[in-house]
Amino acid sequence: MAEHHPVSDSKHKSSLNSGASYSGNGRSSTAVAERGSNAGAGGGGLSGGLSQPAGWQSLLSFTILFLAWLAGFSSRLFAVIRFESIIHEFDPWFNYRSTHHLTTNGFYEFLNWFDERAWYPLGRIVGGTVYPGLMVTAGLIHYVLNLLHITVHIRDVCVFLAPVFSGLTSISTFLLTKELWNQGAGLLAACFIAIVPGYISRSVAGSFDNEGIAIFALQFTYYLWVKSVKTGSVFWTIGCCLSYFYMVSAWGGYVFIINLIPLHVFVLLLMQRFSRRVYIAYSTFYIIGLVLSMQIPFVGFQPIRTSEHMAAAGVFVLLQVYAFLQYLKDRLTRQEFQTLFFLGVSVAAGVVFLSVIYLTYTGCYAKIHIPIIASVSEHQPTTWVSFFFDLHILVCTFPAGLWFCIKNINDERVFVALYAISAVYFAGVMVRLMLTLTPVVCMLSAVAFSSVFEHYLGDDMKRQSPPAEDSSDEDDRKNAGNLYDKAGKVRKHVSEQEKAEEGLGPNIKSIVTMLMLMLLMMFAVHCTWVTSNAYSSPSVVLASYNHDGSRNILDDFREAYYWLRQNTDEHARVMSWWDYGYQIAGMANRTTLVDNNTWNNSHIALVGKAMSSNETAAYEIMRSLDVDYVLIIFGGVIGYSGDDINKFLWMVRIAEGEHPRDIRESDYFTPQGEFRVDKAGSPTLLNCLMYKMSYYRFGEMQLDFRTPPGFDRTRNAEIGNKDIKLKHLEEAFTSEHWLVRIYKVKKLENRDRVEHKLRSTDATKQKYTTKKVSWDFKHWTV
Amino acid sequence: MIGKSPLLAAFLLLLAVSSEVSADGLVNEEVKRTVDLSTHLAKITAEIVLSNQGHSAVQSFMLAVEADLAPHLAYIGASVSQTLVKETADHFCLGQFYKVQLPSTLAAGAQLKAKVEMTFSHVLKPFPTQITQAERQLVVFQGNHYLYSPYPTRSQTTRVRLASKTVESYTKLGNPSKNDEIVEYGPFRDVAPFSEDTMKIHYENNTPFLTISSITRTIEVSHWGNIAVEETIDLRHTGAVLKGPFSRYDYQRQSDSGISSVKSFKTILPASAQDVYYRDEIGNISTSHLQVLDDSVEVEVRPRFPLFGGWKTHYMIGYNLPSYEYLYTLGDQYALKMRLVDHVYDDQVIDSLTVKIILPEGARNIHVDTPYRIDRMPNQLHYTYLDTFGRPVLVATKNNLVEHHIQDVVVHYNFNKILMLQEPLLVVGAFYILFFTVIIYVRLDFAITKDPAAEVRMKVASITEQVLTLVNKRLGLYRHMDEVVNRYKQSRDTGALNSGRKTLEADHRTLTNEISSLQARLKAEGSDLADKVGEVQKLDGQVKELVCRSCQEAERLVAGKVKKEAYIESEKTLTSKRQELVSRIDSLLDAL
């Protein structure tokens, strides 16, 4: 405007007639510009949430959350697009089977389900040994859809449950981060958690596992907890308890919540941040949460019996004492005595709390040294590489976010700091617990990125910051008695940023912004790549690629399982290593001896013993266990490394743990201490049942012209025992690529001989039968 | 071979129809019988020259089936002379007798050529019943050397076609000649009615002995242009049962190992079949291939594992068809013409068939024309996407079917086209309710407790909004005034300037009053924004002063009281001052 006026006037001066129209134009254009700037100001006012709370901002965040959900859902569909809508891996097959049972037989039948097809001859009480949340969720969705006559098969519900829940997870992460920091960070966190590989690894389409819904429950419980600590309202606490109940019903990881929340309360007490809000929130949460969690049959009385839950009880008592002391403090006047008393109590309680925690986790460690737990790959300690692989740039930025939180500490930021620290510790102990670390890393990284962008992102910063300040002010005003002052912090931010702007100039600003955006872009690319390459294989179906890019599908697992399903007796008992128990039950629908619910170590050890004994000894064990078929996985033909020979040492170790007199691990090694399948291998190994079954008739097979017959591609060795004869077993089925081999256990061959002898003399028959009976008896007592 | 009682039964039945038969006086002049045993079916064709030696013309003649083969009879059909009119005789079933209605009467003494086709399933018995993987499959067929007929036969020959040259044994009635895969019996002369003589052939047959033990064919008709077909099939290898181990090594390395097993077979689907899927309970069966030909779609169905004797499998195959090829319509009347049963593999045997035809929701007056007799079950209801009262399902079953049963069924029904709108309206309604609920939820306050602070905030917000618009309007007035002044400078029309100044004054006063009333209200609500508005008012007063001054300056210029240069100078300062004030107002407004 300052420029327009002189220009128009000079026009007017030079030529009055024509200048009129020009100046008119000039005026109108300024008017338009002015109006535009006013409209912009109006927009700013809207987004400030003053004039219209449900305005552009909520539309924008709704859109971003919706897109995050969509992106999270679609990036989990690689496996479905590449293969088919199928349940993955091992545990999901059990979950699918029990969900199927639930939908066909109803809820009560499911709760009372005694599965006689597992752990033969013991059976398994499924209803009481399972976290039913997953099945009930899937069953409920299926029920509702069918009620609306949307005839979706339960399999598809199960396959797509985890991707759908990932959307809910990102929304609850948004809510939680919004409570902790601000809306912008919340949206970033929602986008991060939607695509971060650490979470995708457990929630791709088809991986129908507890973790898929448990992370949602975890985040939502934390959100409600933070909300109840902030407001001190019983309403939010009850919501938190219900969410906690859902979490308890879904995953054993609920123990993390029931320890983290008391820890939070305890640390708040130590930091002198005790308030009425914390008292209301925790007291309500502990009592109602406890009662609700005990409703799950599998959990039962554990919350009042086991050491994992004692910390919560201790903090509850401590809180009551503390509140009582506070009350007394108001009544009494002897201040010094009070403070001394308080110190004494808190120190004592702290010691108790820490010792309980110590006991709990040392207890966990003791369990880890059982070989069966150690044998699971996901129970191994996490490597640095897998941190980066699963979290990429977030693993670098999340300490910054943590620092921001600690720098501007308040009640809920104490919580997130504790969450971060404990999750980092557990993720370091076990690969599997990477999952609990992922959400907090996403949240804190979002905080870090959001703060950096607040500093460096453009001129509109000036216009954006005052409204943000206003809204946070309002938040603060709502919860009376806050000890911290967020508004002050933001003001400091503004001044800092202005200083930085003056010092750095626009170039630095844009460079930093570009750099951050590049990092985020690389993060998105990495996430997609990891999801596509590492986490999207169903592992039930394998694929190999030819030189021209065409794909071969190796469907051996389902071939063999389906053969079992169709062509064996309905009550046939199949012995296999426990890894395949759930799959056999789910796909082949046959009775198994051991499965992935490794609750009975000695039973597994017995199977391990059968696999690692010689054929005759194994036959006795198999007879005593009524085994009809033995199923093994053999990867020697196609070079599949996850086969039973590679797992064999674990079988030996587990068997040795229970039967140290019969099985010794050292017998299976060469004198040099090597585990070899070729001629140099130990004779015990070359004659054990597993070896014989794996390589039966493999010695005749020449895979290509450069290698001798009987060349094992997985272990790159020519096998040592090529002339394998089976006496008590016979080959029943071998899949196309020899990946799965099924052997039939022959019945005792004695009938014919008995008949034959019967004709010769009567006396012999008499003798023989008695002998036979005693022999049989002996077997049963083994 | 035949027990006494079946014979007796046959005799009694014979008596029942004897009057008819004896009245005919028909004689089989010449019979050429072919027994085709090259597959797992027994297909018996007889070319009969029939002569009427009675006194009256006949309308029909009888066919008979041996008592021990009758339960296995899957299909019987007759065609007469060159007329290709095929008379499927199922309808006239009288025990093991079938009556063929002639197209024209056969006069006394006249002759007629008839061709009779019969197909028997499960009559080739594997013997031995169990074989190992390396062995070949041998089967036994037990039949009749003669044509089993209620009429005397003058002359007949029987030719048996086998699956291979290897024959273990065969009955030697009348010194038969054997040439490769063919055994020829006869000619036999003057065979009495109902004569039977057991023919027993034991030979090697490695053709796939596949049997569909049950198939459920579901046809779902949609008026949106699609017909979905799904077949759920239980398949069993009914040849000699595999004994002992199955060795994959032998199966892969030796070509004749497991020669009687079935690796794959071809299923022919209609040419317009799309979206074909082939799966079972545990997912897709990835070993199949699809080939689209000009007149059909061929699926190479490969079960997950090769089927040896006694092994079975179970799968589903499904596809979509465009409905315009199969659905005919006339007003409200519809007719669906589809195959009752379709091809699964060549020479198929179906033990039990269930057909379910799902018609659109609201189909009435359903009427079915089947090509042959089939057992109807009570209709069912089927609920799927967006259904409210269910789709009618026609259910029908039949046992023992072969390839000859691949024929069309016609289903007539009425359907009101208005019902097509039901489903879209349902969706629209659901969305309407959803959005309406959201609107209600957002607009109305459901809180149990009142939050006075929030209410005040809302009120203040609405007042500020009004203030903003008013202030903008007022700024607009100044702009308008500028224009008036400019025009005045050109036209030197004092009247226009004065009137413009008057309107400005009037409008300005009303607006200012309104704003100050709003300011008062803001103050009443206790908002600190009132002060800001007051500041805006103060600044605005200054702006107005400046506008007035510029107006006076212009008047003076026009009147010639000031020089141009001086005017420009003063105008410049005024403008810059005004500019400053307006930007201050703007910043205040931004803060509102």
pLDDT tens digit sequence for A147-200: 888 888 899 999 999 999 999 999 999 999 999 988 889 999 999 999 999 899
Asked if B473 reaches chain A (Cβ–Cβ under 8 Å), the answer is no
Q: Could you give the 3-state DSSP secondary structure of residue A395?
A: helix
3-class SS letters over B482-538: HHHHHHHHHHCCHHHHHHHHHHHHHHHHHHHHHHHHHHHHHHHHCCCHHHHHHHHHH
- Using the beta-carbon criterion (under 8 Å), do B486 and A12 form an inter-chain contact? yes
| Residue A46 binned pLDDT confidence (cut-offs 50, 70, 90) | very low
Give B592→chain A minimum CA distance, Å: 7
| Angstroms from B579 CA to nearest CA on chain A | 7
pLDDT at site A224: 95
> In this model, does residue A48 exceed pLDDT 50?
no
Under an 8 A CB cutoff, do B248 and A734 touch? yes
With tokens 């806050």, the residue in question is A482
Q: Does residue A709 carry a pLDDT above 90?
A: no
Q: Which residues contact A645 (CB under 8 A, 6 or more apart)?
A: A634, A635, A636, A677, A690, A691, A694, A714, A715
∠ Cα A292 A294 A298 (to 5°): 125
The answer to whether the Cβ–Cβ distance between A50 and B464 falls below 8 Å is yes
C-alpha A138: how far from chain center? 17
Cα of B520 to nearest chain A Cα, Å: 19
Interface contact flag, B572 A6, Cβ < 8 Å:
yes
Q: Is the peptide bond prior to B452 cis by the omega test (within 30 degrees of 0)?
A: no
| Cα distance between residue A6 and residue B576, in whole Å | 10
Q: Tell me: cis bond preceding A439? Omega within 30 of 0 counts.
A: no
Report percent pLDDT > 70 for chain A.
79
ipTM (interface predicted TM): 0.76
Is there a contact between B311 and A567 (Cβ–Cβ < 8 Å)? yes
Q: Which of A42, A540, A731 sits opposite B468 (nearest CB)?
A: A42
- The residue in chain B having the minimum alpha-carbon distance to the alpha carbon of residue A730 is B245
| Residue B220 Rama label (left phi>0; alpha psi -120 to 50; beta) | beta
How far from B251 is each of A633, A733, B132, B567, CA to CA, in Å?
Answer: 19, 11, 12, 110
Cβ B153 vs Cβ B28: under 8 Å: yes
Mark yes or no for CB contact A45/B592 under 8 Å: yes
HSE of A548 in the Cβ direction (CA atoms, 13 Å)?
Answer: 2
Chain B residue at shortest CA distance from A40: B590
Q: Do B486 and A6 touch (CB under 8 A)?
A: no
Inspect the interface and report whether the beta carbons of B312 and A566 lie closer than 8 Å: yes
Name the 3-class secondary structure at A536. coil
Name the nearest CA neighbour of A534 among A526, A522, A545.
A526
Task: Provide, as residue numbers in chain A, all residues whose Cβ is less than 8 Å from the Cβ of B543.
Answer: none
Size of interface A-B (CB pairs under 8 A): 135
pLDDT digits (tens, 9 = 90+) for B251-279: 888 878 888 888 889 999 999 998 999 98
B386 CA: distance to closest CA in chain A (Å): 6
- Chain B, residues 360-419, CB within 8 A of chain A, namely 383-388
Given a cut of 80, whether residue A486 has pLDDT beyond it is no
Instruction: Check CB contact under 8 Å for B249 and A701.
Output: yes
Q: Which residues pair with A421 in a beta bridge?
A: none
Cα B525 to Cα B385: distance, rounded to the nearest angstrom? 55
Most confident of A246-260, A690-704, B142-156, B185-199: A246-260
- Mean pLDDT of all residues belonging to chain B: 83
Interface with chain B: mutation pick from A8, A567, A700, highest number of B CBs within 10 Å: A567
Asked if A697's CB is within 8 angstroms of B249's CB, the reply is yes
Q: Does B312 touch chain A (CB under 8 A)?
A: yes
Closest CA to A573 of A126, A121, A125: A121
- Check A41 against B461: CB less than 8 A apart: no
Please say whether the beta carbons of A72 and A80 come within 8 A. no
Residues B120-153 have pLDDT tens digits of 988 888 988 888 888 888 999 988 888 888 888 8
Chain A residues in contact with B476 by the CB 8 A cut-off are 31
Those of residues 313-332 in B touching chain A at CB distance below 8 A are 313-314
Interface subset of B 147-206, CB within 8 angstroms of A:
none
pLDDT digits (tens, 9 = 90+) for A614-650: 888 889 889 998 899 999 999 888 888 888 888 888 8
pTM of the model: 0.78
3-class DSSP assignment, residue B49? strand
Distance from CA of B313 to the nearest CA of A (A): 6
Between CA B25 and CA B17 the distance in angstroms is: 13
Is B447's pLDDT higher than 70? yes
Mutation pick from A562, A563, A725 vs chain B, by most beta carbons of B within 10 Å, is A562
**Share of residues in chain A with pLDDT > 90 (%):** 30
Measured CA to CA, the distance from residue A589 to residue A302 in angstroms comes to 33
Whether B442 has its CB under 8 Å from any CB of chain A: the answer is yes
Is the Cβ pair B586, A37 closer than 8 Å?
Answer: yes
A141: CB partners within 8 A, 6+ apart: A157, A161
Q: Does B465 touch chain A (CB under 8 A)?
A: yes
Give the gap in angstroms from C-alpha B16 to the nearest C-alpha of chain A. Answer: 48
A41, closest residue in chain B (CA to CA): B590
Q: What pLDDT is recorded for position B12?
A: 38
Pick from A468-472, A543-547, B495-499: least confident:
A468-472
Closest partner CB to B590 (pick from A1, A31, A44): A44
In tens, the pLDDT along B186-236 reads 788 888 888 888 889 999 888 888 999 999 999 999 988 899 999 999 999
Question: Chain A contact for B452, CB < 8 A?
Answer: no
CB contacts under 8 A, B 237-256 vs A, are 244-249, 253
Q: Which two structure tokens, joined as six digits, stand for B14?
A: 């014979």
B-chain residues near A540 (CB < 8 A): 283
Output A387 or A462, whichever has higher pLDDT. Answer: A387
CA distance B353 to B233: 10
Query: B39-95, pLDDT tens digit by residue?
Result: 888 899 988 888 888 888 888 888 888 888 888 888 888 887 654 444 444 444 445
Cβ atoms of A462 and A441 within 8 Å: the answer is no
Q: Does the distance separating the beta carbons of B249 and A700 come in below 8 Å?
A: yes
Residue with tokens 């929130």: A281
Closest residue in B to A83 (Cα–Cα) = B284
pLDDT of residue A54: 55
Q: State how beta strands B26-36 and B73-80 pair.
A: unpaired
Within 8 A of A45 by CB-CB distance, chain B residues are 464, 468, 590, 592
* B490/A16 Cβ within 8 A: yes
Smallest CA–CA distance, residue A565 to chain B, in Å, is: 9
